[in-house]
Chains A and B, each alone.
Chain A
Amino acid sequence: MAKERLVLIGNGMAGVRTLEELLKLDPERYEITVFGAEPYPNYNRIMLSPVLAGEKTVDEIILNDRQWYEDNGITLHTGDPVVAIDRRRRVVRAESGLEAPYDRLLLATGSLPFIIPLPGADLQGVLGFRDIADVEAMLQAARQYEKAVVIGGGLLGLEAANGLMKQGMDVTVVHLLDTLMEKQLDPPAAALLKRSLEERGLKFRMPAQTTEIRGDGRVQAVAFADGTELPADLVVMAVGIRPNIELAQRAGIYCERGVVVNDTLQTFDPRVYAVGECVQHRGKTYGLVAPLFEQAKVCANHLAGLGYARYAGSVTSTKLKVTGIDLFSAGEFNEGEGDETLVLQDPARGMYKKLVVRDDRIKGAVLYGDTMDGSWYFQLMRDGADISDFRHTILFGQHDVGDAGHGDEKTRVMALPDDAEICGCNGVCKGEIVDAIVTKGLFTLEEVRAHTKASSSCGSCTGLVEALLASTVGEGYDASPKKKPLCGCTEYTHDEVRKAIVDHQLKSIPEVMRFMEWKTPDGCSKCRPALNFYLVVAWPGEYADDYRSRFINERVHANIQKDGTYSVVPRIFGGETSPAQLRAIAEIAEKWEVPTVKVTGGQRIDLLGVKKEQLPGIWGDLARAGFVSGHAYGKAIRTVKTCVGSEWCRFGTQDSTTMGIEIEKMTWGSWMPHKVKMAVSGCPRNCAEATIKDLGVVAVDSGWEIHVGGNGGIKVRVTDFLVKVETMEEVLEYTAAFLQLYREEAHYLERTAPWVERVGLHYIKERIVDDADNRKRLAERFLESQKYAQIDPWKERAEGADRHEFEPIRLIQGVA
């Protein structure tokens, strides 16, 4: 069967990005033809400003060279704009007369600079700022002439003005209003920006209304409404862009301000799709890159015939690409009635931060001078996160609040040498990452992870990698977190999947995949363990654990080591042992010739170097000696570390050892989103280090303090104080409730520390401390699920469960 034919009109970022997404989904489906009006292959239009400023060359901003088109079997016609679409015959015709038939047509004609219809707007030397040709004309003018006037004090105008000034021209920016970038900035930030640009040598005339461009053949001056005049050899009109819909209109495709598309990026002609700046979606048009990429993904999904992705519009943020000026804005940055405004201002340093807050949620942000936390504020805004817990320090930035791996990294990373190691887990240096970003045209964190492995293991260098991406690809990198799918097999998020499992009573992995239209036949190594866990939590006692969807450690209940052997850690409740227990472990270790015996950080004993086929035997011996699995291998309850407490210690205020043993007896065997470590200290000296555990209990004279969300690993995080209670029963109830809330609501592989930061301690207190009924219900659900969880997996396997897993096949004939 002949392939379907796809024609793309417009060789820009949105269109080609759609092709890239499509090729990932279904590289064989279409015979693809691309028409571009410009004589270049696909380039990064948002980097035109640095080209104009002389910071980059045209070659450096090419995203896909001609070889890429060839490698992917795409026919490319550059410098040949399409002039007509015949929708009846399904053929497009280019200026050269060339015709190309299509089965599907993709419009990505972008936008045109808005040229104000002033007298003289057609004079030589009057330009827009849109493509490489404009930039080249400007560079040409800068070499020959002296005085430039840029009409428009918005994002584009200021970038053009800055570039021309860098090229040695005397530049005046003319703006209709008295606030620069009024769509992105409030008056104080705009004033700071103006001052800073003036210091660099830009001149401003504002507010000023241009009435005429004067000249004889070539532009000579710009005239204003107040009768004054400004000499000019070059005029750049940068008052805005408008969707380029002329071709679509002539073809009778329904347009308003842009080509109107639905949530699948389809126009009113079902064979014709449209993406990018030419599009009008739900009444909005977009001129920034992030939404275009989101559209491209959805459009490709439909072109590939998958048909489930939807585009629901974008929330955007803005940065100004003028080197040395840091500016960020997002959302409703001008406060309305009833809004609160948080402001931090240091005029001497040229720093200004403003957050508009409504009901303890960020509605908008303007940052000037220090934009490091822009993406964090943006994330809080998009998530609608409650900021009441940290609003008193929020303006100081994320590193002042907690730690999800950012800190002062952006500025730090710029100054690093190329051989500086960024990812300590995989040994990846800055130079390698930057090189991969440039040569392979990477735009997202996921792509950098796939190609370099940086940030793909423990994730603690994620902030650094993001900073490298941002500084290397500039605005093309959208740091703002998007709706993040669970994995590549689905478009749904962790939360959406969990909700569907409960709401629609989905009770097996295939059922979930069918109902949620998984893209792959049986998932992958990322989603299957997550789904298995979510089902375990949702349907305790009912769901049959799918051990094929468990990582090897959880499948064989031991921890795989780098040589393929396993470690075995029996549970020692509360870390309190006995001569009899120790003797048993010693004998078993000798009997099985265990190469290494080690005391762990969680007060237990680790037997290392056990061969897989020995596991059932060693477990049988341990079970007979009274041990159960320590789950040292699982996303599960690990240990409850204790100090000796009031039984022996002269400072101890409570019996912390007994408390630890009781907690561990209640909780062992429970599957969790990630590993969970607990500790109980007998006095505030805190010898059990309870305040860096997922849940820590600290005894005080009058009772017990419960602390949550600590971590002593990749990023040390001190726990947050949850509540103080008096009795052991209360400690157990709060512990069960907290763990159940974490099990039911955290994402798979999310430790308590980032979870607490994500949802806010305030929220957890609301659910567990303020609402006693809810706490009791959570604790009951935890204890109910424990009825099915506290079955020793070692004993089961020692008695023959999953035998095939531990027995290799031996060849009887043919070898040796």
Chain B
Amino acid sequence: MSEWLEICRLDDIPRLGARVVEHPDGNIAIFRTKDDRVFALDDRCPHKGGPLSQGIVFDHKVACPLHDWVIDLEKGEAVPPDEGCTHRHPVRVENGLVYLSLARASAAA
């Protein structure tokens, strides 16, 4: 039922970096970690809506550029003691291409 969208090549995303996928319901940040894992999260920090895609990526985490909240990319949750959660989206990498599924986002919409 989920529809996988091909969005870019893995190499289009810098390692320890992110790209932004524009979406009418709010942008989605696609992160690539040092070990080449890829994560997709709403590009909004649960704190004050800062664009997470612009943060510094380390380990499987990103630090929000506005107030330095740290968000766990795997869980979408703020690292304690901060509290909050950002919506995750399924993402997978095959043959060097990155696919994103917006099934849950559209189901929620």
Question: Chain A residue with minimal CB distance to B80?
Answer: A450
Known interface pairs A525-B70, A811-B5. Does A552 touch B59 (Cβ–Cβ under 8 Å)? no
B65 within 8 A of A: yes
Known interface pairs A450-B81, A560-B66, A804-B14. Does A811 touch B21 (Cβ–Cβ under 8 Å)? yes
Interface size on B, residues (CB 8 A): 39
Cα distance A529–B57 in the bound complex, in angstroms: 12
B102 within 8 A of A: yes
A815 within 8 A of B: yes
Cβ–Cβ contact A809 & B102, under 8 A: no
B10 within 8 A of A: no
Question: Residue A548 contacts which of B17, B20, B35, B70 (CB distance < 8 angstroms)?
Answer: B17
B50 within 8 A of A: yes
Question: Residue A815 contacts which of B24, B57, B59, B67 (CB distance < 8 angstroms)?
Answer: B24
A147 within 8 A of B: no
**Nearest chain A CB to B73 CB, angstrom units:** 13
Cβ–Cβ contact A814 & B58, under 8 A: no
B7 within 8 A of A: yes
Cβ–Cβ contact A522 & B66, under 8 A: no
Question: Residue A524 contacts which of B13, B54, B58 (CB distance < 8 angstroms)?
Answer: B58
Cβ–Cβ contact B23 & A811, under 8 A: yes
Cα distance A804–B55 in the bound complex, in angstroms: 15
B93 within 8 A of A: no
List A contacts of B24 (CB < 8 A): 815-816
Chain A, interface residues (CB within 8 Å), range: 20 to 34
List B contacts of A525 (CB < 8 A): 55-56, 58, 63, 68, 70
Cβ–Cβ contact A810 & B22, under 8 A: yes
A564 within 8 A of B: yes
**Nearest chain B CB to A221 CB, angstrom units:** 56
Cα distance A601–B14 in the bound complex, in angstroms: 36
Cβ–Cβ contact A811 & B22, under 8 A: yes
List residues 502-535 of chain A with CB under 8 A from any CB of chain B.
520-525, 528-529
B16 within 8 A of A: yes
Cβ–Cβ contact B102 & A522, under 8 A: no
Cβ–Cβ contact B16 & A808, under 8 A: no
Cβ–Cβ contact B22 & A548, under 8 A: no
B19 within 8 A of A: yes
B7, B48, B81 — most chain A CB neighbours (10 Å):
B81
Cβ–Cβ contact B65 & A552, under 8 A: yes
1/0 per residue, CB under 8 A from B, across A74-104: the answer is 0000000000000000000000000000000
Cβ–Cβ contact B7 & A809, under 8 A: yes
Cα distance A811–B3 in the bound complex, in angstroms: 13
Question: Chain B residue with minimal CB distance to A524?
Answer: B58
A143 within 8 A of B: no
Cβ–Cβ contact B19 & A808, under 8 A: yes
**Nearest chain B CB to A695 CB, angstrom units:** 29
List residues 768-816 of chain A with CB under 8 A from any CB of chain B.
804, 808-811, 813-816
A567 within 8 A of B: no
**Nearest chain B CB to A579 CB, angstrom units:** 37
**Nearest chain B CB to A553 CB, angstrom units:** 8
List residues 119-148 of chain A with CB under 8 A from any CB of chain B.
none
Question: Chain A residue with minimal CB distance to B16?
Answer: A548
Cβ–Cβ contact A814 & B102, under 8 A: yes
List B contacts of A551 (CB < 8 A): 56, 65
List A contacts of B59 (CB < 8 A): 520-522, 524
List A contacts of B55 (CB < 8 A): 525, 552
1/0 per residue, CB under 8 A from B, across A431-462: the answer is 00000000000000000001100000100000
Cβ–Cβ contact A560 & B54, under 8 A: yes
List residues 57-87 of chain B with CB under 8 A from any CB of chain A.
57-59, 61, 63, 65-68, 70, 81
List residues 1-42 of chain B with CB under 8 A from any CB of chain A.
3, 5, 7-8, 12-17, 19-24, 27, 30, 34-35
A371 within 8 A of B: no
B90 within 8 A of A: no
- Chosen A-B contacts, 10 in total, with CB atoms closer than 8 Å, are A450-B81, A524-B56, A552-B54, A556-B54, A560-B66, A804-B12, A804-B19, A808-B22, A809-B19, A810-B21
Known pairs A525-B56, A564-B51 / 19 extra A-B pairs, C-beta < 8 Å: A457-B67, A521-B34, A521-B59, A522-B59, A524-B56, A524-B59, A525-B58, A548-B14, A548-B15, A548-B17, A550-B56, A560-B66, A562-B66, A804-B13, A808-B19, A814-B3, A814-B102, A815-B23, A815-B24
The list of the 4 closest CB pairs from A to B, nearest first, reads A525-B63, A525-B56, A552-B54, A552-B65
